[in-house]
Amino acid sequence: MQWIRQASLQNRIFFSMVSLTLALILVLTAVVYSVSDETIERIYVTSNAHSLRVSSQIVDQQLQQLIEIGRTVLIDDEVKAALLNGKEDGKIQFEGETRKVLAAVTEKMSTQNALIASIALMDLHGHTYFANNLSLGTYDYYSYWQEHSWQDEFWAQEAVRAKGKEVFYGYAVLPGTNEKQFCFVKYLINPSDSRPMGFMVIHVSRQLFKKSIMKDAASFQSSRYLVLEDDGTVVYFDGNEEQSGILKETYFQEGMSHEWLFAEWTNSLTGWKMIHAVNRRELGQDSRQIAAILITVILVMTVLIFIIARVIAARITRPLRKLEQVIESVKEGERHVTEQFDDSEVGLIGQKFCEMVNNNLELREHLLTARLNEREAELLLLQSQINPHFLYNTLDSLYCMAIIDGNDRIAEMTLALSDTFKLSLNDGRKETTVAEAMMKIEKYMKIQNMRYHDRFQLLADIPPEIMEKKIITFILQPFVENAIYHGLEPKLGKGTIRMTGRQEGSRLIFQISDDGVGIRDPEKMEQGYGIRNVRERISLTYGPEYGVTVVSREGEGTCVTIELPVE
C-alpha cells in the first residue's frame, strides 16, 4: 500500500488494471474448473445410468426367458404326475421311470439356454432330482439332503410365501454348488387345481450379467461393474473378490468417501442394484486437462494484460503529462497556450486550463488598457481643470462689464454659461442628483433660448420625491441637446421639449420627448458619439438590464426613454 501511495498515477492505473483483471481471471478459472469437474461427473452419472438402464432391460429379457423355461414344467403332464404321485418312502431321489421323465425335461430345459448351470426338482415327499450342466462343472449334494429337509430351508419358506412367483437370490442356495452362480426358486403349484406339487431351483451362470451389461466404448481403466442385493450380497463383479469387497464398502459409505464415483440402476425384476464405479482420479483427467489449458490461457492472458494495461495506462495519463508540461510552461512565463487536448475528462480539464490562461491574458490586457485609458482620462480631466478659477473669474469679469455697459442679455448669458461650467465639472464627482441634473438642463435651455430668441420651451414634470435620487453625471442633458439640434432647430417656428420622471419599483424612468421633425431612421442616433457614450456608461455602471429606448416618427417628433436603478 505504501508503494501504491508513492507510485505515479500511471503505475497505479497499471497495477489496478492488472490486479483486478488477474483476480477476475483466477476466480473465473476456479469457477470454470469447478463447474467442469461437476459437469463431467454429472455427465458420467447420467450417461452410465442410461447404459445401466439398457443393461437392466437386457438382464430382464434374459431372466424372463429363464422364467418361461422354468414354467414349462407346470404344463408338462408327466412332470406333474411325477411330482404329485410320489409317496414317502424315506428315499431322497426319484427312481425308475420318474427319474427318466425328469431327466428328459431338465435336459430339454438346459439345452434351451446355455446359461442354466443346474436344475433341481423336488416333490413334497422328500424326493429330489438334480441335473448338472457338465460344461459348468459337476455337483454332488445328495448326501446333504439325507440329513436335511429342503422344506425347512429359508428359501423354501420364502418361495411358499411368494405363492408360486419366482424368488431370486444372488448366490446358489443349494449346498455344494458353484459359488459363481445365482438362482431363482419357484414353489410349484398345479395350475389345474392349485395343488402344491413341490419346488424347483434353477442355478444360472453369472456370465448372464457379463453378456448383458453394455460397457461404454470410452470406458475408463478403473471402470468396474457390480450387481448387489439389498443386503449387500455381491451377485456379480467384473474384478477380483478383494476389490469387490472394497467397492461394496465404499458404495455403502459414499457419504464419507470421495475416491470412487458411482452410477446405478435398480433392476425391476429382481430389485438388485446394477452399479458402475469409476475412480475419481481417472475421471478427473479431463478436468486436469481443462485446468492445464486454463493455466496456459492465464499465462498468455497475463502477458497480454501486462502489455495492454501498460499501453492503456500510458494513454490515460498522457493528457495529464501534457497538462503538467503546460502548467510548467505557464509557470516559466508562457502567456499564450496553444496546446491541444483530446475529449477525455482530463483533456477537457486541459482545455479549460488553456482557455483560463488565455482568457486571463486577454483580461489582463483589457485591464491594462482600461487602466491606461483611465489614467489618460484623469490626465485630460486634470488638464481641463487647470486653473478653473481663471475661467470663472474671466466670465465674472465679462458679466460685470456687461452690467456696467447696461447689456443685460449678455450679462445673463455669461452668468448662465458660468453656472453651466460649474455644474459640468461637478467637483470631480461621478454621480449627481436628479435636481442638479435638472438645474444644468435649465441653464442649458436658457443659453439656447438666448441664441434662438426663445424658440424652445421646456416642460418638466419631475416629482419631488425623486429629485434627491442619485444618477451618474451627464445622462439626461445629451438627449435634450439632441432634441434641440436634430428635432426642433430644423423645424419652423417654436418647439416644445417635455421631460417627465417617475419611480416604478426599483427603477427610475425618464422620458424626453419633442414635437420636432422626427427621425426617419432612429438607429442613426446610435451612431452619434453622445448617445453611444451614454449607453455604454449606463451598461458599465448599472448592468445590461438598464439602458435607453428611442421611438421616433418623421414629422411628429422623437421620444427617448431612459431606465436607471434607484440608488
Instruction: Flag the least confident range among 135-144, 177-186, 343-352, 426-435.
Output: 135-144
**pLDDT averaged over every residue in the chain:** 80
Interatomic CA distance for residues 418 and 427, integer angstroms: 14
Highest mean pLDDT among 6-10, 77-81, 350-354: 77-81
Longest alpha-carbon distance in the chain: 195
With beta carbons less than 8 A apart as the criterion, state whether 336 and 358 touch.
Answer: yes
For 287-309, the pLDDT digits (tens) are 666 667 777 877 787 778 778 87
For residues 99-123, give the mean pLDDT: 90
Interatomic CA distance for residues 528 and 486, integer angstroms: 11
With beta carbons less than 8 A apart as the criterion, state whether 243 and 230 touch.
Answer: no
Does the pLDDT at position 526 exceed 70? no
Q: Do strands 128-132 and 116-123 pair parallel, antiparallel, or not at all (unpaired)? A: antiparallel
For residues 11-31, give the mean pLDDT: 75
Does the pLDDT at position 475 exceed 70? yes
Interatomic CA distance for residues 522 and 533, integer angstroms: 16
Q: What is the pLDDT of residue 180?
A: 75
Beta carbons within 8 Å of 338's beta carbon, 6+ residues apart:
354
In the chain, the amino acid numbered 198 is G
Q: What is the pLDDT of residue 4?
A: 62
Class of domain 73-210: alpha beta
Q: What is the reported pTM?
A: 0.49
CATH superfamily of 455-565: Histidine kinase-like ATPase, C-terminal domain (3.30.565.10)
DSSP string covering 137-200:
-----HHHHTT--GGGSHHHHHHHHTTT--EEESS--STTS-SSEEEEEEEEE-TTT--EEEEE
With beta carbons less than 8 A apart as the criterion, state whether 262 and 275 touch.
Answer: yes
Beta carbons within 8 Å of 232's beta carbon, 6+ residues apart:
248, 252
Q: What is the pLDDT of residue 456?
A: 92
For residue 413, the SS3 value is helix
DSSP string covering 238-288:
SS-HHHHHHHHHHHHTTTT--SEEEEEEE-TTT-PEEEEEEEHHHHTHHHH
Q: Do strands 196-205 and 234-237 pair parallel, antiparallel, or not at all (unpaired)? A: unpaired
Residue 528, H or E segment? none
Instruction: Flag the least confident range among 15-29, 40-54, 314-328, 436-450.
Output: 314-328
